[in-house]
With several copies, the nearest count.
Chain A
Amino acid sequence: MFLDSIRQALGLLASAEVWSIILRSVEVSGTAVAVAAVIGIPLGVLIGLARFPGRGAVVAVINTGMALPPVVVGLIVFMILSRSGPLGSLQLLYTKQAMVLAQLVLAVPLVLGITVSGIGGIPREVLMQAKSLGAGRLQLALAALNEAKLTLVLAIIAGMGRIIAEVGAVMMVGGNFKGETQVMTTTILEEVRKGEYALGLALGIILLTIALAANAVMSRIQGGVMTR
């Protein structure tokens, strides 16, 4: 049964349609996670370093954001982008941009949360050392980033993992249009709904293979920090 699925998965790889779905998944989730990193990492470093009243509450809210249900995020983004919504005139609903936006909302809290915790784990002495050698605010943040590299890789991997495997939000705002906004997870769901379990499994295996490859590349880029 499972072996069958794997054979079927390999067969599927020959189809141009499956390839375009895979590429779209990687494009949408890759963009979302890249933007999430650009937003979440600096902001996370800021929150991680700053000491202000109510910081505990902010951290709690961020951690809570990790439990944002994808369907609710999808619903909210849908309502905003809907014709009758505030940004309806942009006509973004059922486009890849809408999917990126929804996934962004899901990825940001995860990237933020892991970054804040990683930065919070840096011993105070390290930051004092940088400060004593003349580091300004921004430079201090860079020093912190450098110390917490391992965590940042994890933040990106976890963020990517969360969204590339997610279906609720992307289904709702993307519409799963064949050849347009169909991604791997929405296709899996569609196949399962049709009772095509084997195809669903096969696509799942392809998704994991891609995640594995991306993960291997990322570890390699980071100079083996994951294997220390």
Chain B
Amino acid sequence: GDGQAGGNSTSDIIVASTTSTKDSGLFDVLLPAFEQAYPDYRVKVNAVGTGEALKLGEKCDADVVLVHSPEAEEKFVTDEFGTERREIMYNEFVIAGAGADPAGADTAPDASTAFSRIAQTRSGFISRGDESGTHKAEKKLWVKGGVLTPSGVWYRSTGQGMGETLRIADETRSYVLVDLGTWLSMKDSLSGGVIVLLEGDPDLFNQYGVIPVNPERCPAVNARGAAAFADWLASPEGQNIIGEYGQEQYGRALFTPNAAQ
């Protein structure tokens, strides 16, 4: 449709998701498969921050949201903006930083210890600071590491997306919390200022959930399409595609499917 005259037809499904999900390229394999299974629907992905994605759902401007911030998602459902939350997949965060590793994150037993070392040594850390899923995960790690509110010249908040924040960390040789998908897709375009120092800690678990927007609050919403999309993501077919994605390009899957069957 380039020639489409305007107006969203009832067959369109608007997905509000995060930039990291879209930029990872996952949708490029998911959508054709979904549209093949449901030829009546066409999916449009609006990639924004998790905060904005939920807001779009709240304002009825998305039919379904796919984000990664479990607590905010729960609240979204409790507030009756969404019908039900379903876990779809997870990937993990990694802690990246300069090879010199002044805080010794490399040798830390777990992520929260690495964070508290960074704070103690006042080593440069770049935070997204944008209330995204990643930012919320980061804040939890600070608390767990005994740092209530990180502040000082060493702690810089960008208010930007994952890609931008990672690039800033790369340029400034600072520590950063980054999701694996973004890291893998961007690492070749960085200047080599940061490497992965710590991964595999259960605290670095990054859960994604899908929530159809509540048609009772938003009558204009494409409820059937949203439900179909959410169901399909959780279906063996959807889960399979998610599990495959990235094997070819990066030698490992970017996301691990974990929908309850």
Q: Which residues of A contact B (CB under 8 A)?
A: 20, 23-24, 78, 82-85, 88-97, 171-172, 175-180, 182, 186-187, 189-190, 192-197
Contact = CB atoms under 8 A, between A and B. Distances in A.
B52 A171 contact: no
A175 B8 CA distance: 12
Contacts of B55: 195, 197
Interface in B10-26: 14, 19, 22-23
Contacts of B190: 195
A93 B188 contact: no
Interface in B150-170: 156-161, 163-164, 167-168
A193 B51 contact: yes
Contact of A195 (B2, B8, B163): B163
A96 B49 contact: no
A171 to B, nearest CB: 7
B195 interface: no
B1 interface: yes
B218 A84 contact: yes
Interface residues of B, number: 52
B2 A190 contact: no
Contacts of B51: 193-196
A176 B160 CA distance: 8
A89 B220 CA distance: 8
B120 interface: no
B193 interface: yes
Nearest to A175: B46
B7 A90 contact: yes
B23 to A, nearest CB: 5
A160 B227 CA distance: 42
Given A83-B193, A95-B6, A187 B159 contact: yes
Given A94-B171, A190-B130, A177 B19 contact: no
A93 B49 contact: no
B61 A95 contact: no
B52 A192 contact: yes
A83 to B, nearest CB: 4
B191 A91 contact: no
Contacts of B6: 92, 95-97
Contact of A180 (B2, B58, B59, B131): B2
A193 B19 contact: yes
Contact of A91 (B7, B156, B167): B7
Interface string B43-68: 01111110111111011110000000
Most interface-central of A95, A179, A194, A197 (chain B CB within 10 A): A194
A61 B51 CA distance: 34
B168 A94 contact: yes
A175 B176 CA distance: 14
Nearest to A27: B2
11 contacts: A83-B221, A84-B61, A91-B8, A94-B14, A177-B45, A178-B44, A192-B52, A193-B48, A193-B130, A194-B23, A195-B52
Contact of B172 (A84, A94, A186, A187): A94
Nearest to A178: B157
B61 A195 contact: no
Interface in B193-244: 193, 218, 220-221
Contact of A172 (B1, B131, B164, B193): B164
A183 to B, nearest CB: 11
A176 B159 contact: yes
B129 interface: yes
B159 A195 contact: no
B193 A186 contact: no
A187 B2 CA distance: 16
Q: Nearest 5 pairs between A and B by C-beta?
A: A195-B55, A195-B189, A190-B159, A83-B60, A193-B49
Contacts of B220: 83, 88-89, 91
A154 to B, nearest CB: 32
B23 A93 contact: no
Contacts of B46: 94, 175-177
Contacts of A197: 55, 189
A92 B164 CA distance: 17
B14 A195 contact: no
B143 interface: no
Contact of A84 (B14, B130, B163, B191): B191
A172 to B, nearest CB: 7
Contacts of A187: 159
A175 B17 CA distance: 11
